[in-house]
């Protein structure tokens, strides 16, 4: 891409074969055919068939497919169809969730700009923005969205808002000066860029880049080249699938070896045992359960304003070790608010939230009425009358029109109670904001008196003042007084505020217009300090993140001083903080760069390329990075991060497309809520996996033990499928609803190398499996005297009830159920009742019991088995008590 900002406009016209009068229509049409339309090429949307088939690309599904094929080959058709149904349901759930997310994103897409004003054949014409070509001369006015990258050739008080591209929150003053070759994107003041906004003034510009060759287009293309790292959840589920496949295979091989080589059973009989062992070892319901756990987590997150685009992100946010957050709009409200007023008489603090025109004025002692204090009243009048901004009420919020700085002054005046429409003062003439003078002025008439009001950069206004207002009288502005006001202004600026000065002067009654020569010998009235204030609750959320062992860093395109001021206010940095700019980072060696990334709290004036480099370095250091962003400049790093988090209100389409999570309220606090839910999801995945594995191993060991003892097969494959799908399934869904326990945000993130299965399971596995096996085998053996079907029925009831009681244990491997509260997860109670009812229906309804080959049990027999099975709850409760007491 050519460095257009270093060339003079004459050189650019010559190079692009254009002029200030623009291109001819014929030449523009020819160029359009050569270069293509001014559009960013979107990646082709995935077909619905591809999305559906993608759901089956999982080791767990492969295991189920093997089990299905084997069941079909040995003529267990019903078993095969049940497993097939599981696979299809799993695919449908995943497909529906992903398509729902895609539809939500498509609904958010908006065209960058529809039309542009361009000079063709010397005339100004309105054309479709996609038809713009290099060399076109365009006209830009207040409120326009820039249709392509262009070099400015003529300006009049021209300013743009480029926060979506550069991250800088304040509008940028533009000029025509030729710049240095190494000028950063945010400082290219003689250029305008596609997708940014014109906030004031007028300009002509020659287009130097269109479509994918623009800055925004380059970002979009770079996104396509970035390979998103595999999510933590996907890695752990793959690991779990392999572990389960190994367990199931060992059980099946062991069963076949013992039965065929040591017990001398016939091939068909031992094959039946082997299939039963394989079915018992495979957690057929696990894929669906995992999706349900994630879906429940996603639903809970959505209620807390965190919308999940990709289900595995639900859990990944819970293991994040670093949150790299944007400043504007995420930590702050993305609205300029006047917070301080300084006059010769006093200092005032103004409360309020964003663009909402409600707030109070207070000095150090008390609340004051701004319209009853002469100097404040004057400030309010200047704020509302020397102003072209507008504030429109839209639903529960507000929409601004014009320069955000002027709208902030308008909101200030509204807080005082001034109603512009009811004022007797009238605007006669307006001197629009001048980027060189850095001020604006208005001629106001009131009852045959005329005054000039002016607002601008504090140093520029003070240079034009000869007096200052004190006790409603003009007082000579001497060197000492001016120095004091400058010192006060600089103090506000150090606090990260944008500081403006307000002044006025009386004008002759016959004055009908004003020029820059009139803006002189003014009466200084006061200073106003405004900034983009922090969002409510951000400070507390950052503290929560620290308690949870998460490092929070700020990366922004804004200036270092502004970033530091906000970071101090929200508690992001302490006394020994470290801040670095991109320029400083680029001067470091690789080892020093790595050290800086490890230690720095704030990265200021950073470009998209540097943001991505920072994310990549953090990942190489072993961190799990959650990255927030709303602008085009954030998109590459969002995609590169472990979990990209974009903004729902202020975010751009490119940022949303590159993220896994969208904050519907654009609030950092929602990220911490999502972390809490993500950690709960991981715990629930672990709970459900532990529960399934415990029961599956118990079933497998029961089959192998019965084989060793020379007993018949205690449970048929179809009975095992019921246990794994219906009984386990319902209880697992109940476990997946387990709410967050109180300690979830008081612990560091899980080690990303730690699997779903860990050593904490071993004691519970030994106790649970031991009880299930050494109770079920004797029960089965006892009832064999009354027939094989009745013995299998008794074994089935035993295994079912052990599972039902064990679900209470699995709510926490650490705390007693009585400490958690029996009714804190009512779904477990519901699943207990449902499991019991369904078990009775399967046993006692004739046509169903025939299908499962069950026999009748008396009430006494049934309750005896239930009583034995309940022992698992009391024994594990006792184990928790002893272990917790031993550990202190």
Q: Are residues 217 and 261 in the same domain?
A: no
Domain contains 662: yes
Q: Which residue has the tokens 């497309």?
A: 657
Rounded to whole angstroms, the Cα distance separating 368 from 360 reads 8
Q: Following DSSP, what letter does each residue of 309-339 receive, concatenated?
A: SSTTHHHHGGG--EEEE-STTTTB-SS-EEE
Q: Are residues 353 and 327 in the same domain?
A: no
Q: Are residues 433 and 523 in the same domain?
A: yes
> For position 593, which CATH number holds?
3.40.50.1000
Under DSSP, is residue 876 helix (H, G, I), strand (E, B) or coil?
A: helix
- Between residues 437 and 289, which one has the greater pLDDT? 437
Q: Are residues 755 and 851 in the same domain?
A: yes
Q: Quick check: 460 and 448 in contact, CB under 8 A?
A: no
Residues 780-789 pLDDT 10s = 999 999 999 9
- Between residues 272 and 149, which one has the greater pLDDT? 149
Rounded to whole angstroms, the Cα distance separating 403 from 190 reads 19
Question: Residue range 95-122: average pLDDT?
Answer: 61
Q: Which of 655, 670, 685 is the last residue of a domain?
A: 670
Q: Which of 225, 242, 262 is the last residue of a domain?
A: 225
Q: Which of 117-131, 273-287, 316-330, 405-419 has the lowest mean pLDDT?
A: 273-287
Domain contains 562: yes
Residues 410-434 pLDDT 10s = 999 999 999 888 898 899 999 988 8
Q: Following DSSP, what letter does each residue of 703-743 receive, concatenated?
A: HHHHHHTTPPPSS-HHHHHHIIIIIHHHHHHHHHTPPPPTT
What sign has the CA pseudo-torsion 783, 789, 795, 798? negative
Q: Tell me how many domains the chain contains.
A: 4
Q: Which of 6-10, 200-204, 229-233, 465-469 has the lowest mean pLDDT?
A: 229-233
Please give the pLDDT value at position 46.
62
b/e per residue 318-349 (b: at least 16 CB within 10 A): bbbbbbbbbbbbbbbbbbbbbbbbbbbbebbe
Domain contains 193: yes
Q: Are residues 661 and 718 in the same domain?
A: no
Residues 470-495 pLDDT 10s = 998 999 999 999 999 999 999 998 88
Is residue 387 very low, low, confident or very high in pLDDT (cuts 50, 70, 90)? very high
Domain contains 97: no
The torsion angle over the Cα atoms of residues 355, 360, 365 and 366, rounded to 10 degrees, is: 180
Please give the pLDDT value at position 782.
94
Rounded to whole angstroms, the Cα distance separating 528 from 499 reads 6
Residues 167-192 pLDDT 10s = 666 788 899 999 988 888 888 999 99
Q: Are residues 794 and 701 in the same domain?
A: yes
**Candidate ranges 87-91, 762-766, 864-868; pick with highest mean pLDDT:** 864-868
Q: Confirm whether pTM is higher than 0.85.
A: no
Please determine, for residue 114, whether its predicted confidence score (pLDDT) is greater than 50.
Answer: yes
Using alpha carbons, list the distances in angstroms from residue 612 to 230, 583, 595, 596, 885.
17, 15, 16, 15, 49
Question: Residue range 208-230: average pLDDT?
Answer: 77
> Domain of 742?
230-315+673-887
Question: Residue range 696-714: average pLDDT?
Answer: 86
The β-bridge relationship of strands 522-531 and 498-507 is antiparallel
Burial of 839 (0-12, 13-18, 19+ CB in 10 A): buried
Q: Are residues 365 and 457 in the same domain?
A: yes
Please give the pLDDT value at position 803.
92
Please give the pLDDT value at position 101.
44
Domain contains 71: no
Q: Which of 76-90, 372-386, 404-418 has the lowest mean pLDDT?
A: 76-90
Residues 51-76 pLDDT 10s = 777 777 766 677 677 767 766 766 66
Q: Which of 374-378, 605-609, 637-641 has the lowest mean pLDDT?
A: 605-609
Residues designated as active site: 326
- Between residues 284 and 160, which one has the greater pLDDT? 160
Domain contains 61: no
Residues 823-847 pLDDT 10s = 899 999 999 999 999 999 999 998 8
Please give the pLDDT value at position 110.
44
Q: Are residues 558 and 443 in the same domain?
A: no
Please determine, for residue 1, whether its predicted confidence score (pLDDT) is greater than 60.
Answer: no
Average pLDDT, the chain: 86
Is residue 25 very low, low, confident or very high in pLDDT (cuts 50, 70, 90)? very high
Please give the pLDDT value at position 281.
66
Please determine, for residue 773, whether its predicted confidence score (pLDDT) is greater than 80.
Answer: yes
Domain contains 96: no
Closest CA to 657 of 165, 108, 229: 108
> For position 711, which CATH number holds?
1.20.1110.10
Q: Are residues 239 and 256 in the same domain?
A: yes
Domain contains 697: yes
Please give the pLDDT value at position 224.
65
Q: Are residues 680 and 631 in the same domain?
A: no
Q: Which of 225, 242, 265 is the last residue of a domain?
A: 225
Percent of the chain at pLDDT exceeding 70: 91
The distance from CA 233 to its chain's CA centroid, rounded to whole angstroms, is 17
Q: Are residues 363 and 325 in the same domain?
A: no
Please determine, for residue 757, whether its predicted confidence score (pLDDT) is greater than 50.
Answer: yes
- Between residues 862 and 328, which one has the greater pLDDT? 862
78 CB contacts (<8 Å, ≥6 apart)? 718, 851
Q: Are residues 310 and 323 in the same domain?
A: no
- Between residues 477 and 761, which one has the greater pLDDT? 477
Closest CA to 209 of 218, 221, 196, 222: 218
> For position 168, which CATH number holds?
2.70.150.10
Please determine, for residue 112, whether its predicted confidence score (pLDDT) is greater than 50.
Answer: no
Question: Residue range 110-122: average pLDDT?
Answer: 75
b/e per residue 853-872 (b: at least 16 CB within 10 A): ebbebeeebbeebbebbeeb
> For position 396, which CATH number holds?
3.40.1110.10
Reading the block at residue 855, the tokens are 């026999």
Closest CA to 550 of 740, 231, 323: 323
């Amino acid at each position: 891409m050519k460095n257009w900002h270093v060339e003079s406009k004459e050189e650019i016209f010559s190079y692009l074969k254009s002029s200030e009068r623009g291109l001819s229509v014929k030449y523009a049409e020819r160029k359009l055919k050569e270069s293509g339309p001014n559009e960013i090429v979107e990646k082709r949307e995935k077909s619905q068939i591809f999305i559906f088939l993608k759901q089956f690309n999982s080791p767990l599904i492969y295991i189920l497919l093997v089990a299905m094929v084997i069941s079909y080959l040995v003529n267990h058709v019903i078993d095969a169809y049940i497993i097939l149904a599981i696979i299809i349901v799993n695919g449908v759930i995943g497909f529906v969730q992903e398509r729902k997310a895609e539809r939500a994103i498509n609904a958010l897409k908006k065209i960058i700009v529809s039309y542009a004003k361009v000079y063709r054949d010397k005339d100004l014409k309105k054309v479709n923005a996609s038809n713009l070509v290099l060399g076109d001369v365009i006209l830009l006015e207040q409120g326009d969205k820039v249709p392509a990258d262009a070099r400015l050739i003529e300006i009049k008080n021209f300013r743009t808002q480029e926060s979506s591209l550069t991250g800088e929150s304040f509008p940028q003053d533009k000029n025509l000066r030729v710049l240095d070759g190494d000028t950063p994107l945010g400082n290219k003041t003689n250029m305008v860029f596609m997708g940014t906004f014109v906030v004031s003034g007028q300009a002509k510009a020659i287009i130097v880049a269109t479509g994918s060759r623009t800055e925004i287009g380059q970002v979009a293309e770079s996104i396509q080249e970035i390979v998103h790292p595999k999510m933590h959840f996907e890695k752990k589920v793959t690991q779990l699938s392999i572990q389960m496949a190994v367990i199931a295979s060992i059980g099946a091989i062991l069963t076949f070896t013992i039965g065929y080589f040591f017990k001398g059973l016939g091939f068909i009989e031992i094959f039946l045992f082997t299939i039963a062992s394989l079915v018992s070892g495979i957690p057929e319901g696990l894929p669906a359960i995992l999706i349900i756990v994630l879906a429940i987590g996603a639903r809970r997150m959505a209620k807390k304003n965190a919308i999940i685009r990709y289900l595995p992100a639900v859990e990944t946010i819970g293991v994040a070790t670093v949150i790299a957050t944007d400043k504007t709009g995420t930590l702050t409200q993305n609205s300029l608010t006047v917070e301080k007023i300084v006059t010769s008489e006093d200092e005032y603090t103004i409360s309020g939230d964003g663009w909402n025109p409600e707030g109070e004025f207070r000095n150090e002692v008390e609340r004051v009425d701004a319209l009853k204090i002469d100097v404040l009243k004057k400030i309010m009048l200047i704020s509302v009358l020397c102003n072209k901004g507008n504030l429109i009420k839209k639903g529960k919020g507000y929409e601004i029109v014009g320069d955000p700085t002027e709208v902030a002054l308008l909101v200030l005046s509204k807080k005082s109670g001034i109603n512009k429409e009811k004022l007797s003062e009238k605007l006669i003439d307006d001197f629009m904001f001048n980027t060189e003078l850095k001020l604006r002025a208005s001629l106001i008439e009131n009852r045959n008196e005329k005054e000039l009001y002016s607002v601008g950069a504090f140093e520029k206004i003070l240079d034009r003042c000869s007096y200052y207002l004190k006790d409603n009288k003009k007082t000579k502005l001497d060197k000492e007084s001016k120095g004091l006001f400058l010192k006060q202004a600089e103090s506000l600026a150090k606090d990260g505020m944008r500081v403006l000065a307000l002044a006025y002067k009386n004008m002759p009654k016959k004055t009908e217009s004003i020029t820059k020569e009139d803006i002189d010998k003014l009466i200084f009235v006061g200073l106003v300090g405004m900034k983009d204030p922090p969002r409510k609750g951000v400070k507390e959320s950052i503290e929560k993140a620290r308690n949870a062992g998460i490092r929070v860093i700020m990366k922004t395109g804004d200036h270092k001083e502004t970033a530091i001021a906000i970071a101090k206010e929200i508690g992001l940095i302490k006394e020994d903080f470290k801040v670095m700019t991109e320029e400083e980072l680029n001067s470091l060696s690789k080892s020093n760069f790595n050290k800086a990334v490890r230690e720095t709290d704030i990265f200021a004036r950073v470009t998209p390329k540097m943001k991505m480099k920072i994310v990549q370095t953090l990942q190489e250091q072993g961190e799990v990075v959650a990255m927030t962003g709303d602008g085009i400049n954030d998109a590459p790093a969002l995609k590169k991060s472990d979990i990209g988090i974009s903004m729902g209100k202020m975010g751009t389409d490119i940022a949303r497309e590159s993220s896994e999570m969208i904050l519907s309220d654009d609030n950092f606090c929602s990220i911490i809520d999502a972390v809490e839910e993500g950690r709960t999801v991981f715990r629930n995945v672990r709970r459900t996996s532990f529960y399934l594995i415990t029961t599956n191993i118990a079933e497998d060991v029961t089959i192998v033990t019965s084989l060793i003892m020379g007993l018949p097969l205690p449970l048929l494959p179809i009975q095992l499928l019921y246990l794994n799908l219906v009984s386990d399934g319902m209880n697992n869904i109940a476990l997946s609803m387990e709410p967050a326990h109180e300690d979830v945000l008081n612990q560091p993130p899980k080690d990303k190398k730690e699997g779903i299965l860990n050593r904490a399971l071993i004691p519970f596995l030994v106790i649970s499996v031991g009880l299930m096996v050494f109770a079920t085998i004797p029960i089965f053996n006892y009832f064999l005297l009354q027939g094989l079907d009745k013995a299998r029925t008794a074994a089935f009831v035993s295994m079912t009830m052990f599972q039902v009681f064990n679900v209470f244990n699995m709510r926490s491997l650490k705390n007693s159920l009585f400490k958690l509260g029996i009714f804190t997860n009512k779904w477990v109670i519901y699943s207990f009742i449902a499991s019991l009812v369904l078990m009775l229906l399967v046993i006692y309804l004739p046509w169903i019991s025939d299908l499962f080959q069950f026999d009748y049990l008396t009430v006494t027999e049934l309750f005896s088995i239930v009583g034995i099975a309940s022992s698992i709850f009391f024994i594990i409760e006792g184990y928790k008590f002893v272990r917790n007491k031993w550990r202190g």
